Amino acid sequence: MRPIDTRAESVRAFNRFYTRRIGALGDAHLGSPFTLGEMRVLYELAHRDDLSAAEIGETLGLDPAYMSRTLRAFKKKGLVSAKPGEDRRRTLLSLTAAGRKAFAPLEKQAHDAIVAMLEPLSSAEQESAIAAMNTIRSTFNDESLAARRSSLIELRQHRPGDIGWIVHRHGVIYSQEYGYDERFEALVAKVVAGFIESWDPDRERCWIAERDGEMLGSIFLVSKTRTIAQLRLLLVEPSARGLGLGRRLVQEVIDFSRRAGYKRVQLWTQSELKSARRIYKAAGFSIVGTEGHESFGKKLDAEVWELEL
């Protein structure tokens, strides 16, 4: 039998208490015809304007299929209306007058139940309880967790063993995610070999992103001409995505390029690399050239991006 982890038991005990005492305040609102999930959707629609189904689902962590069923039921009951957004592909949702009328007494009931729960406590106890709730909520907030995870990532220069890892991970990830064949891995090997053989530390650099000894990403800056730098081989491990690491690596390249005296930074990428393209655009790069080609076992559309420094 495994030893009991007291931390896990404490969390489970709190969860049982929360479900019985506090979580139940929102559960179907006693005599309400709505489930807890439905009430959460109604709450978002009542307190935020012009939401799409995808935005509500993302905020609440609800399955798209569940969201679709719930909204169909609400529309059938006349509780929710829809209208096209500025982008015609995006449908905006809002509560109808009937929806607000149905939701108002349920929200008041929930409010009154919470007030009744807090009433027996002293002012100091109420403040302490609310502060503890806020601490738990902020600690486990997705953005807070991402920020803390990101802050632990160190960017360092390359050292022996890193170059082989870069070639290997490019080959694996681009094969799995984009279907590139081994010729792409060969191209990466050629690029990094050229970097090592002619490396100018004052004007070129490789950055490795690392956390607790685990390598999470990499990027290169190489000299194309005296005034033009080239960003190459941006890579972020799937486990490290969503932490802003790609943006951080690109910004390192930009900052170093300015210090080294370059006038512009260029890069070559493919139109299907959507996440990388968003990072480049956010950093101020723009497309200056395109060309179709067949490489790595695929037909691709190459793009040249450029940033004036």
Which of these three, 140, 166, 196, is where a domain ends? 140
**How many folded domains does the chain comprise?**
2
Q: Do 108 and 189 have their domain in common?
A: no
CATH at 188: 3.40.630.30
Which of these three, 140, 164, 180, is where a domain ends? 140
Question: Quick one: which H or E segment has residue 45?
Answer: helix 36-47
pTM of the full predicted structure? 0.56
Residue at 145 is within a domain: no
Q: Answer yes or no: are the C-beta atoms of 302 and 260 closer than 8 Å.
A: no
Q: Do 130 and 163 have their domain in common?
A: no
The type of residue at 283 is: A
- Which residue range forms the structural domain that includes residue 282? 151-308
CATH at 45: 1.10.10.10
Tell me the average pLDDT across 90-115.
Answer: 85
pLDDT tens-place string over residues 232-283 = 999 999 988 888 899 999 999 999 999 999 999 999 999 999 999 999 999 9
Confidence tier at 228 by pLDDT (50, 70, 90): very high
> Measured at the alpha carbon of residue 141, what is the angle toward residues 135 and 145, in degrees to the nearest 5?
105
Which of these three, 94, 117, 140, is where a domain ends? 140
Residue at 230 is within a domain: yes
Q: Is 21 exposed, middle or buried (0-12, 13-18, 19+ CB in 10 A)?
A: exposed
Tell me the average pLDDT across 275-300.
Answer: 95
Q: Which of 30, 77, 74, 32 is nearest to 56 (CA)?
A: 74
Confidence tier at 22 by pLDDT (50, 70, 90): low
Tell me the average pLDDT across 186-191.
Answer: 96
CA distances (Å), origin 173, targets 151, 159, 248: 24, 22, 20
Q: Do 136 and 170 have their domain in common?
A: no
Q: Token pair 């059938």 is at which residue?
A: 76
Confidence tier at 19 by pLDDT (50, 70, 90): low
Cα(114)–Cα(191) distance, rounded to whole angstroms?
62
Q: Do 135 and 156 have their domain in common?
A: no
Q: Do 213 and 97 have their domain in common?
A: no
